[in-house]
Amino acid sequence: MRTDPLLKEVIMAALALTPVGIAIGVLYRWETGLSPWPGLVLGMVCGFGFGIAILALTSPRRGH
């Protein structure tokens, strides 16, 4: 059973963006002392979904 290449790209994009989102939340908390919930976290989730789509669709195709 072969996995769809686009699904692989979505997974790789999610793995690439997860540490970025965590780092932004931690830095926000550290700099401001305020909880990043709900404004920053919900905004990041929306941006995260859009970023994954852009990364997955524009990445070079590996294999067939």
Q: Can you give the C-alpha Rg of the chain in angstroms?
A: 15
Sign of CA dihedral 34, 40, 44, 47: negative
Count of residues making up the chain: 64
CB 6 within 8 A of CB 64: no
CA 17 – CA 48 distance, rounded (Å) = 7
CA 14 – CA 47 distance, rounded (Å) = 12
- Give per-residue pLDDT as tens, 15-51: 887 888 889 889 989 999 888 888 877 888 888 888 7
Q: Output the pLDDT for position 58.
A: 79
